[in-house]
Amino acid sequence: MPTDTKDRILEAAARLFAEQGYHATGVAGILRVAGVKSGSLYHFFSSKEDLLVAVMQRHLDMLRPQFLERAAAESVTEDPLEHVFSLLGIYRRTLLVSGCKLGSPVGSLALEVGSGIPRVRVLIERYFAIWVAQVQEWLEAAGPRLPEGLERGAFAQHVLAVAEGGIVQSRASESLDPYDACVAQLRSTFELLVARSRYERDESRDSLVGEPARADESVGETEDEFEWRAW
Amino acid sequence: MPTDTKDRILEAAARLFAEQGYHATGVAGILRVAGVKSGSLYHFFSSKEDLLVAVMQRHLDMLRPQFLERAAAESVTEDPLEHVFSLLGIYRRTLLVSGCKLGSPVGSLALEVGSGIPRVRVLIERYFAIWVAQVQEWLEAAGPRLPEGLERGAFAQHVLAVAEGGIVQSRASESLDPYDACVAQLRSTFELLVARSRYERDESRDSLVGEPARADESVGETEDEFEWRAW
Amino acid sequence: MPTDTKDRILEAAARLFAEQGYHATGVAGILRVAGVKSGSLYHFFSSKEDLLVAVMQRHLDMLRPQFLERAAAESVTEDPLEHVFSLLGIYRRTLLVSGCKLGSPVGSLALEVGSGIPRVRVLIERYFAIWVAQVQEWLEAAGPRLPEGLERGAFAQHVLAVAEGGIVQSRASESLDPYDACVAQLRSTFELLVARSRYERDESRDSLVGEPARADESVGETEDEFEWRAW
Amino acid sequence: MPTDTKDRILEAAARLFAEQGYHATGVAGILRVAGVKSGSLYHFFSSKEDLLVAVMQRHLDMLRPQFLERAAAESVTEDPLEHVFSLLGIYRRTLLVSGCKLGSPVGSLALEVGSGIPRVRVLIERYFAIWVAQVQEWLEAAGPRLPEGLERGAFAQHVLAVAEGGIVQSRASESLDPYDACVAQLRSTFELLVARSRYERDESRDSLVGEPARADESVGETEDEFEWRAW
DNA sequence: AATGAATGAGAGTTCATTCAT
DNA sequence: GATGAATGAACTCTCATTCAT
């Protein structure tokens, strides 16, 4: 059976990098938390920077199972739009349990070391790309409930921005309020979009077919519903 | 006679903290950039952390003149809603001229040292509060052009989130695209809100008064206009 | 009127050197205590070492008025032997009021910088010489009450040794007990010496003259008395 | 495999602290003397102060084998009173070989850092206590040769005082003379005490028994002898 | 795989001192 | 006489890393 030393190091490093940042975290601290001696660390990783890359790769590996898929699984409804907020809820939980000390580890690393270590930057870019792609997929799955003109990809980026930006504010104020407010506004935007989409479809339907469409709409109404849900 | 040494140190520190982060910046680097010897730095600041506090205070002092007031002054129209995007444009310029290495210095500090140094965290919190308050003011100045039900304060936080979150993505991808996409979506949301407000007002007006109001509305139409403008 | 700045500096330095030692005392600390800026200090003293020399000279200047003459003045009797213990009592008071943190400033300097700074060592040597000379004088003033064979100078050095050595122990144990015990033993030795001297004189008187001397002795008995007195 | 690095550091530090004092000794100097790099020192000792504690502990560990037991072993006679002077002779040798630059390392530390670093002060206190206890034991082993009324413990403290105080003076004058004079006076006191004790015993014996005791006394005379011996 | 002693460059900071005002 | 900004060497200590075992 292979030892778990490497994992323990990775886990310790991931935790400390998230808590304190990369540069503020000393190798000694990682060794202490991992319960490992320096020789062991350098047996698995050739440098602290290398360890950071591995940590970032680990974040990447865990993005889908721990965040994206889990968000869908934990979502209160099958509605793909709801999945988006389920995902945002996962970040909320991280803020909550850490007393707003921890938010998105990757976002923090992006700002701290993104532009300094190319290998890491590329992984972060990929991480965000996957995140955005998944949200985009959910948005697309919502089909006509969102306005035809809405660029799903750009809007997914916007969603990520709200999440990261909300986290920044909540960490700064040590309160969930800003994050909640930001997400609430995002939800309102979703409602607005859904309403607009229905309105647009109504209009086009009106001009195209007319009253008979009304029957369908009553069904559509239900599907289109998108309302506020407490965390 | 006042010397500029202290300012040179502050400026150098602010720049390096923004470029590399607080922990990755050595005192030696600050001294080199400021063209000052170590003794001088410690004549004015009792520690590196103290210097950080002073830098953060400087950001706070410059927030209004350099960002908020300038955004209003540089705004392409007198429309307060446009001021918001003028402000977002300032951050865009920072990204642009730095090759997406620099975004919002305060956002970066918030994530890197926010939770570690209370004195700094408080200043960051205040910084965001002022930022948000100004945007909220602009939103309120837009009066009925935004929906009555829109919480101006929460929406201002949302605007800040989009900015900070867009910056995170643009720094990670070393491209303005994510930032632009995020801001574009935000603008769409503004348009949506303005449209919704007009719609709501139409409906109530219809029920309340009727045609005479239409005359006013034609003027209002112009005011309500809120369309995309290239950076 | 000349300013007292120089004196304030000297006093501050003397106090801090005594409390913390020479090397542990920073110029900054002296400036703070003296309420003076660095330029002023270097206006009067060319270096920290120079300041030490001046402090040591001050100790030398104050030795007679503040210690030796005061000891005689404060002595409970006119007995010169008692003056010795009056002097030791002054050091006791210093220990007492300082919680055994301060003893003999010069003794401490002797051990810390004596062998390193010749100018200072010479002053310390002179200081001890004057101290010893005074005690020797008192011992000589006791005349035949002390044994003829007792070397007054060497014994005075011994007295100084007991004082300094007692202080060392009391500072180490943060208690007056060791100092008191040492001085008590010294007093016993004095009693022993006085007794021995009387005995010797008795013997020689017996062999030389005889009974008539007894009359004088009854007076001498009183003079010879030398008993323990509480502090 | 145990390396000698730690010991080399301890030895170097002990030597330099004794020669120059704690504060005047730089870590760099210790490293140079020990032939070690800074990282190594901090591998074994967490700080300079910690190193001082270890040095002091080492003094404590070496007190018995290197000073107390050796004093007894090197003593010119089996007479326990002579052991006391054998011990004082060890300090004399230290003064001699160092040109009066070195005396009692612990005494110096007591004055320099005693009251500043509690951990060190406690060790110094214990050091003196053991020293005194051993001398007290020797004094007690002398049995009735010393006066019944003599407090052995207090007198042992007095002996230590004479040693430390003699060292202070010899270091200040860069001459063995003061130390020798102090020890000589102490020896005279011993002789006085022994004589007094014999006298007291004679008196009590006279009053109790009478002439027959004289036979024993001739033997006692030899035992009681306590005379000056050159170093 | 793992240990922990050893490295030495560099960290942040304090130091005594200088000097123009 | 006094100020306090400026200096730069030296300080204690931490850093990421290496390597013999």
What pLDDT score does C21 carry?
95
CB-CB under 8 Å, D188 with C192: no
Q: Report CA torsion sign: B139, B145, B146, B147.
A: positive
pLDDT of residue A203: 77
B172 Cβ under 8 Å from any chain A Cβ:
yes
In terms of average pLDDT, the best of A210-224, B2-16, B170-184, D210-224 is: B170-184
Q: Which of residues 2-31 of D touch strand F (CB under 7 A)?
A: 25-29
Q: What's the confidence (pLDDT) of residue B115?
A: 82
Q: What is the pLDDT of residue C146?
A: 96
Ranges of residues in chain C with a pLDDT under 50 are 1, 210-222, 228, 230
Q: Name D1's Cβ contacts closer than 8 Å, sequence gap at least 6.
A: none
Confidence class for position D79, pLDDT limits 50, 70, 90: very high
Task: Determine the pLDDT at residue B144.
Answer: 94
Q: What is the pLDDT of residue B220?
A: 41
For the segment A143-169, the average pLDDT, to the nearest whole number, is: 97
Mean pLDDT by 10 residues, chain B (231 residues): 82 96 96 94 95 97 97 94 97 96 95 91 97 98 95 98 98 97 97 91 65 43 51 54
Q: How far is CA C177 from CA C96, C174, C183, in A?
A: 11, 9, 10
**Which of strand E's nucleotides are less than 7 A from any protein C-beta?**
1-21
**Residue D200: predicted pLDDT:** 85
pLDDT band with cut points at 50, 70 and 90 for residue D212: very low
B29 — contact with chain A (CB < 8 Å)? no
Q: Do chains D and C touch (3 or more CB pairs under 8 A)?
A: yes
User: Alpha-carbon distance B100 to A110, whole Å?
Assistant: 12
Selected residue of A98, A130, A158, A190 to mutate for chain B interface (largest B Cβ count, 10 A): A158
CA of A43 to C1' of F12 (A): 31
CA distance B132 to B160: 7
Q: State pLDDT tens for residues D147-184.
A: 999 999 999 999 999 999 999 999 999 999 999 999 99
Residue pLDDT, tens place only, B62-85 = 999 999 999 999 999 999 999 999
Q: What is the per-residue pLDDT for D21?
A: 95
C171 touches chain D (CB under 8 A): yes
Q: What are phi and psi of A210, to 5 degrees?
A: 120, -150
Instruction: Answer whether D153's CB lies under 8 Å from D78's CB.
Output: no
The packing angle between helices C118-141 and C152-173, to 10°, is 120
Which residues of chain D have a CB within 8 Å of the CB of C157? 166, 169, 178, 181-182, 185
Of A124, A165, A188, the CB nearest to B163: A165
pLDDT of residue C137: 98
What would the mean pLDDT of D204-211 be, rounded to a whole number? 57
**DSSP classification of residue A101:** S
Distance B12 CA to F16 C1' (A): 27
Beta-carbon separation of A157 and B181 below 8 A:
yes
**Strand F bases, protein C-beta under 7 A:** 1-21
- The answer to whether residue D94 scores a pLDDT higher than 70 is yes
On the question of pLDDT at A213 being above 60, the answer is no
Q: Do chains A and D touch (3 or more CB pairs under 8 A)?
A: no
* Cα dihedral: D187, D188, D193, D196 (round 10): 150
**D20 and chain C: CB distance < 8 Å anywhere?**
yes
pLDDT tens-digit map of B25-41: 999 999 999 999 999 99
Render pLDDT for A56-102 as a digit per residue (tens, 0 to 9).
Answer: 999 999 999 999 999 999 998 999 999 999 999 999 999 999 999 99
User: A29 and chain B: CB distance < 8 Å anywhere?
Assistant: no
- Cα end-to-end span (Å), chain D: 44
